[in-house]
Structure 1
Amino acid sequence: MKNAFYLLLSFVFLLGSCTSVRVLSDYDKEVDFNGYKTYAFYRTGIDKAQISDLDKKRILRAVEREMSQKGYVKSKTPDLLVSIFTKEREQVDVYRNAGFMYGWSPYYWGWGWGPGFYGDQVSVSTEGSLYIDLLDAKKKELVWQGKGVGTLSETSNIEKKEERINEFVAKIMTQYPPGQEGE
């Protein structure tokens, strides 16, 4: 549970990051997406997402806004079910700082210029992925999946978190429906 909290926390903190969001999508090319007009959230899938309930709400509100802008209506008898999940990956980069410096050398007699190492610099970043799945409600089959990937950064500023989540969701949803602008 602690890992899930940190995963969520990291995902939320990605909101404060200024880096761009890379998006990808995949879909079943046999599906006629023009037949879908209504949607509902697929709680079974959403409940499994390892992020905080607050961030789930933020993501779902953003998805709701995007679906509404595309002309979809929320319904108790939907054509599509919307689910989400997240992943994170920590990346560690080590930089060896080297260069020329002036100083005393125990290996060479006296003072002088020469190559030297200043020590290692370690950079740790977390990359998070948000997946938005759209399932055919009748068949319970995945018909479209959008993925947004970006660097996560920590912030306690709620507005920045919401802004970053909105950015992730909006960029992912530019890929839906397939064949539309943004693909």
Structure 2
Amino acid sequence: MKTFKLLPIFLVLLLTSCSTVSVYSDYDKNVDFAPYKTYAFFKPGIDKVEISDLDKRRILHAIDTELQAKGFTKSETPDLLVNIFTKSREQVNVNQFNAGWGYGWGWGWNPYMMYGGQPMVSTSTEGTLFIDLIDAKKKEMIWQGEAVATLTKNVDKKDERVQEIVSKVLAQYPPVKK
């Protein structure tokens, strides 16, 4: 019976701890994406990105992995230039609901629940990664992917998280024209 009382609390914790990635993309509808087969990183743009060199390498490695899986090859004379841009913001989460002891049911939710203390406040960092694909000859952006996700500070999980984010962004390339 106590398991059922803790189930709503467990579900709330589970749902709030899931890490989601929101992905968007935009592209030039007049471009034929089929001829693009090679790429290189746009060094002047990437050098301006204000993140740690470690995170920058993680992102570039993930982009390499995804583009090569799509059949692209890195080249000194590329068809596409790849640029990235990032931004971040702190998220403040306030939880007004704290379970407390009720009348006769023990720990957990019940209709007679009393207020159980102070609001819980937590912070997290939400990051946005933009991946721009630029026609190397025309010097025009032809595609942009964007991912918004909660970032991890756990060093052991950073590579995996970055790979997940980049993979979801580049899954939208090439665009499917309707």
TM range (shorter): 0.7 to 0.9
CA distance in 2, matches of 1:169, 1:98: 36
Query: What are structure 2's unaligned runs of at least 5 residues?
Result: 1-16, 103-111
Describe the shift of the 1:30–1:118 C-alpha distance in structure 2 as closer, same or farther (beyond 3 A).
Answer: same
Q: Relative CO higher for 1 or 2, CA cutoff 8 Å, sep ≥ 6?
A: 1
Q: Deviations over 1:122-144 (max 9, x none)?
A: 12121111111100111211110
Q: Deviations over 1:62-88 (max 9, x none)?
A: 111111111111111111000111111
- The Cα of 1:29 is off from its aligned counterpart by 0.5
Give the TM-score, by structure 2 length: 0.76
Secondary structure of 1:35's aligned partner: coil
CA distance in 2, matches of 1:74, 1:122: 46
Contact 2:93 2:123 in 1 (8 A): yes
Describe the shift of the 1:116–1:75 C-alpha distance in structure 2 as closer, same or farther (beyond 3 A).
Answer: closer
- 2:176 maps to 179
- Equivalent residue runs for 1:68-83 within 5 Å: 68-83=68-83
Q: CA RMSD in A?
A: 2.4
- The Cα of 1:22 is off from its aligned counterpart by 1.6
Secondary structure of 2:118's aligned partner: strand
**Runs ≥4 residues deviating over 6 A:** 98-102
Percent of aligned positions that are identical: 56
More strand by percentage: 1
Query: What are structure 1's unaligned runs of at least 5 residues?
Result: 1-16, 103-112
- Equivalent residue runs for 1:3-22 within 5 Å: 19-22=19-22
Q: Deviations over 1:74-103 (max 9, x none)?
A: 11111100011111121212233478878x
CA distance in 2, matches of 1:172, 1:70: 13
- The Cα of 1:37 is off from its aligned counterpart by 1.3
Describe the shift of the 1:30–1:95 C-alpha distance in structure 2 as closer, same or farther (beyond 3 A).
Answer: same
Describe the shift of the 1:99–1:173 C-alpha distance in structure 2 as closer, same or farther (beyond 3 A).
Answer: closer
Describe the shift of the 1:118–1:137 C-alpha distance in structure 2 as closer, same or farther (beyond 3 A).
Answer: same
